[in-house]
Structure 1
């Protein structure tokens, strides 16, 4: 069977690509703010990417390649999508595990009299990461 480009799956411009995380909202409308902060505060910058941009680009290309090979080899396309899903999940898990380790060492390894400012910063970072994860868990379009 010959691959016909006009029958290959084409990405829809309005559709959300599941391999490319959407930029999270940094402040939900219903979330309480820390006293004295606003969404425009320089103290409230988004954290680093969960997957670096260059790596996201490579993963997106792999997904597109799997989609494009479906017509000629459906099983291979699905196997590649499965492997890609596993790679993305592993990268998220590794990144989050490292972030948690770094955050914990910032406040757990100190005396029980940890400075309030250090604890505030740790709490803000936990909140930011958790909000990003919760936003990612919502169905597309919300």
Structure 2
């Protein structure tokens, strides 16, 4: 798995960024509504990231767990490398 693969599609990020920008720009006129919208955006982002991570984990697990008899050491090495890269990436957030 390439280290720089985004967790969310660009279109999804753009929509969420637009919503957050809208909340920021509306703060002066409606501060509470702006903060509530920012809260909803963060909730949606965290949910989508959680879903994306769960899918990545299923994919990783499938690369070595589906058929233990056919999994060779090289496949396990690559799986371990992918796990390490993803974990490292998450710890840098």
Q: How far, CA to CA, are the matches of 1:102 and 1:121 in structure 2?
A: 13
- Count of residues paired in the alignment: 93
Structure 2 segments unaligned to the other structure (5+ residues): none
Q: Which has the higher helix share?
A: 2
The equivalences for 1:1-142 within 5 A come to: 45-112=2-69, 114-136=71-93
User: Could you say which structure has the larger radius of gyration?
Assistant: 1
What do residues 49-104 of structure 1 show as CA deviations (whole Å, max 9, x unaligned)? 11112211111111111000000001110110010000000000000001111111
- RMSD across aligned C-alpha pairs, in angstroms? 1.6
Structure 1 consecutive aligned stretches of length 4 or more whose deviation exceeds 4 Å = none
